[in-house]
Structure 1
Amino acid sequence: MFFGLPLHSLVVHAAVVCLPLAALGTILMAFWPAAARRLWPAVLFVATIALIAVPLSITSGETLKDKVGENALIEAHEEQGEQVLPFVIVLWLAALGISLATRLMGHTKRSRHESAAARAGPRWHAAMVIVLAVLALVGGVGGTLATVRAGHSGAQTVWTK
């Protein structure tokens, strides 16, 4: 309890806000290198908050379940809430990978006088960018949808009599 409110109802809002925001930022960074150069610190920070908030939401939800008892709606909500965790892990890995690639692998502006081969970079770099973009899409879209489903079932649990 925090100021008389169950901790779950407070922590879950961090996940509900941060996960879709991190998803949007990570997907934006994956497909727009200029945005990645500017946004990576903020996106990585928000993704990290989401990565922390989701397991805290699960743990605080289990504690709340012990206090209020179990029923079919709570069980469904618990199951859907646990489905968010793998997506937020994938999203965080994508945000971290894109941030590292942005900082370390030269998403910097290149001279017009460099050869096309020098601007293209190694082949593995292109493959890595594709893998990170796929991870961003899977983690971001999947995580956001799983969060919406879990949030909806949580609201049903609270408001259904």
Structure 2
Amino acid sequence: MEINGLPAHPLLVHVVVVLLPLAAIGGILVSLWPAAQRKLTFLVPLAAVVGTAVVPLTTKAGHALEDTLGQTTPAIDTHAGYGEKVIWFAVVFAVATVVQWWLLRGKGPSAAVRWIVAAVVVVSAVGVLTIVVLTGDSGARAVWG
């Protein structure tokens, strides 16, 4: 997989490592700070969904790059292992942010339900941040280490 003659993986990975952490930080802010709810409620799930949608493309491009290299190392295996887990964290986070956005739009469920969803958003945001950092760090070490 290439984009304009360059391997697609290092190009696509920038979408994931920018959008998902920004969405995660925004999700935490929306969950804990009412002023952020008024400003970021729509942007957070949008970034989370777009970032999540790019993860499978990035993973596929990573496998294609690995096949092109024709060799693997323990560092590449570690990176690939983390990379395979990103989608699961991202999906949970994206779904949680969409549910939170939907709840914050109306006068629906009780405050307790909104707080439970906010807790799920915060926990899944921390998970996304963690797995993206671990994946990115192991990828950088595979390339530059």
Q: Same fold (TM over 0.5)?
A: yes
Alpha-carbon distance, 1:131 to partner = 2.0
Task: Provide the identity percentage.
Answer: 38
1:9-61 per-residue CA deviation (whole Å, 9 max, x = no partner) reads 01111000011100011111112233223212221221111111222211111
Larger of the two Rg values belongs to structure: 1
Residue in 1 aligned with 2:64?
63
Q: Following superposition of structure 1 onto structure 2, how do residues 32-43 of structure 1 map, counting pairs within 5 Å? A: 32-43=33-44
- Structure 1: which 5+ residue stretches go unaligned? 107-123
Q: Is the partner of 1:105 in helix, strand or coil?
A: coil
Q: Which amino acid aligns with 1:15?
A: V
Q: What SS does structure 2 have at the residue aligned with 1:18?
A: helix
The aligned runs of 1:9-158 (5 Å cut-off) are 9-69=10-70, 70-105=72-107, 125-158=110-143
Separation in 2, partners of 1:79, 1:37: 38
Give the number of equivalent residue pairs. 143
Q: CA deviation at 1:71?
A: 2.0
What is the CA distance between 1:125 and its match in structure 2? Answer: 1.9
TM-score (norm 2): 0.90
Return the TM-score normalized by structure 1. 0.82
User: Which string of whole-angstrom CA distances, capped at 9 and with x for unpartnered residues, describes residues 57-115 of structure 1?
Assistant: 11111111111132211111000111222211121112101110111236xxxxxxxxx
**Structure 2: gaps (5+ residues):** none
Q: Match of 2:53, as an amino acid?
A: I
Q: Distance in 1 between matches of 2:122 and 2:36?
A: 16
Q: Say whether the 8 Å CA contact 1:90–1:138 is kept in structure 2.
A: no
